Each structure stands twice: as C-alpha cells, then as structure tokens.
Amino acid sequence: MIQFFYNAAPNPMKVALMLEELGLPYEAVPVDTRRGEQHSPDFLKVNPNAKVPAIRDGEVSVFDSNAILLYLADREKRFAPGPDQAAGRAECLSWLMFVASGVGPFSGQSVHFRHVAPQPQDYALNRYDFEAHRHWSIVEQRLSARQFMLGADYSIVDMAVWGWARMLPYVTGLDHVWERYPNVKRLLDTINARPAAKAAEALKAKHAFKVEMDDEARKALYPQNERLKR
C-alpha cells in the first residue's frame, strides 16, 4: 500500500486528489510541519528535502508534488499522455513544470510576504505579488480557449493548478479575485464537484494539525531566521 505523507497545504492536496481520482488504497501519514516533524530522521529517509508531500510505494520513494503526480500517472497510465505520445507528453510536461517552477513558488512567496514576513516588505511583496498574478494570468488565458489545461481531457496539470487555485484569495489578498480570473474559477468549480476532490478535502479534517504560528513553528518552518540571532 502507498504511504502518503501530507499536511493540509496546497501541494499535498494535489497528491491527495490524484490518489482519490485513481482509487488507489493508501495510508495517509500526517506530518505536522509546524511541530517540526518534517525534520525527523525517519521522514528524511523518504524526502531528504524535509518537505511534504512525499510517498513511499514499496521500495520506491517519490517527493515533490508534481513528480508524484507524474509518477502516479505513469504507474496507472491515467491522467497524462504516456512516453509514446511525444507531442502530448511534451505539452503536459511543459505545463506541469510551469506550475512546479512558477505558479506554486510565486504563489507561495506571495503568501509568505503578505501574511508571514516581518515589515518592511514592500519590495519583496511587490515582486512576488506581481509574479503570482503574471503566472495566474497565463493560466487564465490558457483556460479561456479550452475546458482543461491540456484541452478536452482532465489531467494531472489541472490537479496541480487546483491545489493552488483553492487558495487564490489568500495568495492575492483580493476579495474579488474571481472577477479577475473567471476561467480559473470555472476550473476550480469543475474539479471541486468531483467526488475525489471532496474526499481529498475531507482528508484535512482527519488530523488536528497545529495552527499556531509560535516560536516552535517559526523555527521549524523558517530555520534560516536563526542566523539572524547571531
């Protein structure tokens, strides 16, 4: 059985969605990052980078949410073009990596400098807010001409987008963000209506993750800040 190491953040939720879509049996293993559990020796054997999500599938360990989506798609031959479909595969990988290297990181940094980092942060917030919107505008434009990110077929790219699209009001700080991104909202609503999405969201309630951002949490999540105390 697959072991799925997760918390309630956007990236683990992508993998939860994929596991539910595939109907694969899995053991959900919570990793409370605000308690520093991602730094435990046992978890580091699964992901040396000390981040969730990760999976262990027998002797195989996979980390990074987008790598896991691709691994599972190839394993089950669903939700992504296979290696024998060169053109479709190239398109899928391009957009999957676009989410991996752009949408996710810039959305995450927008969250950090909007909601977490101490003042002053005008320069950093301006940079990451701009880049988050630039990337989401590309997604919006892409979806304006097709039902899903790769066209008519629901894929791992849509699942990758879904993980972060759920958080877009928080990412941007905008109350009316869906007026700006109506096609992203359409995709979000389409996926949210799927039973797999409901099951993935329900996973968050199965474990009481720490919510306090206290000194323990800051040290676990942002160990680089310890250098500032020297």
List, for residues 51-107, the tens digit of each pLDDT value. 999 999 999 999 999 999 999 999 999 999 999 999 999 999 999 999 999 999 999
Q: Taking the CA of residue 69 as centre, how many other CA atoms within 13 Å lie in the half-sphere pointing to its CB?
A: 31
Beta strands 2-6; 26-30: pairing state: parallel
3-state helix, strand, coil in the chain (%, to 5): 65, 10, 30
Q: How much is the pLDDT for 8?
A: 95
Under DSSP, the state recorded for 58 is T
Question: Both tokens of residue 6?
Answer: 């997760």
- The answer to which of 42-51, 111-120, 168-177 has the lowest mean pLDDT is 111-120
Q: How much is the pLDDT for 226?
A: 85
The architecture in CATH of the region 86-193 reads Up-down Bundle (1.20)
Q: What is the C-alpha separation between 140 and 180, in angstroms, rounded?
A: 9
Q: In the predicted model, is pLDDT for residue 230 greater than 80?
A: no
Phi and psi dihedrals of 207, rounded to 5?
-145, 135
Q: In the predicted model, is pLDDT for residue 172 greater than 80?
A: yes
Q: Where in the chain is the domain with CATH 1.20.1050.10?
A: 86-193
Helix (H, G, I), strand (E, B) or coil at 167: coil
**Is residue 27 within 8 Å of residue 1, measured between CB atoms?**
yes
The dotted CATH code for 2-79+207-212+219-229 is 3.40.30.10
Q: How much is the pLDDT for 229?
A: 80
Q: Where in the chain is the domain with CATH 3.40.30.10?
A: 2-79+207-212+219-229
